[in-house]
Amino acid sequence: MKGEIELPAEIRRKYGIDAGKEVELLDFGKEIVIVPVPKERAKGFIKFKRPVSEIISNNRKEEEEFERRRRGRCNLRLKTF
């Protein structure tokens, strides 16, 4: 297997993904994000000690936990006397 995926023409045009262009798949557990890989890697980008996909995944987990806590506080019921 070549590891090829098929994207609808409308999506390819919208994001400038030509036939044969390399894309990166980022797995965030509940979703997969497709990111076009530029032909020439830009210079001067920040180098991270961990993969960007790991950083984003951890950030999403933190956001989900924050939202769970926030919803828990908002769903308190007041007793009436």
26 domain-assigned:
yes
Is residue 3 in a domain?
Answer: no
Amino acid present at 34: I
Say if 80 falls within a structural domain. Answer: no
Which of 39, 35, 37 lies closest to 27 in space, CA to CA?
A: 35
| ∠ CA 70-74-63, rounded to 5° | 15
| Residue 26 burial class via C-beta count within 10 angstroms: exposed 0-12, middle 13-18, buried 19 and up | middle
pLDDT in tens, 3-14: 778 888 898 888
Q: Is residue 62 part of a domain?
A: yes
Structure confidence at residue 74 as a pLDDT band (50, 70, 90): low
- Which residues constitute the domain of residue 13? 9-39+47-74
- For the chain, the average pLDDT equals 77
Contacts of residue 28, Cβ cutoff 8 Å, sequence gap at least 6:
53, 56, 57, 60
Domain count of the fold of the chain:
1
Is pTM beyond 0.75? Reply is no
